[in-house]
Amino acid sequence: MRGDIFINLHHDRLEIHSPGLLPLGVTPSNIISKSIHRNTHLAKVFYDLKLMEMEGSGYDKVYEVLLLNGKPEPIVDEWDDRVVVTVKKNVISTEVAKLMSRANDEFVLTQKEIITLGLIRL
């Protein structure tokens, strides 16, 4: 879908508005466990040229960075004509951030392990 991407910065959150819907089969509730290639051939070319990690890794990275820093996971909303991702500014607790950092330092967690620990932190 054609359209502009909007990044709205508010005092308490960042909103990213992206035109179009999530790929078929991907929902806001399964976005970190489901990855659908929109254009497999183009993704392979960009990956081989080292222009991107791999298709579908962006949301995982956002979850990892936010949860590792004790912040809430992003909120993904699918509207009629766009996807809106909201990243809140607040830190849930400094103790959670310290726990996440310590666990990652001591056990060298994978990205999926960081996300899992972050989601069950409370």
Q: pLDDT tens digits for 17-33? A: 999 999 889 999 999 88
Residue 101 has pLDDT above 70, yes or no: yes
pLDDT at 36: 78
pLDDT at 54: 66
Phi and psi angles of residue 105, each rounded to the nearest 5 degrees, phi first: -70, -40
Q: Residue ranges per domain, the chain? A: 6-119
Contact 78, 20 (CB under 8 A): no
Written in H, E and C, the secondary structure of 34-100 is CCCCCCHHHHHHHHHCCCCCCCCCHHHHHHHHHHHCCCCCCEEEECCCEEEEEEECCCCCHHHHHHH
Kind and range of the H or E run holding 113: helix 111-119
pLDDT at 122: 53
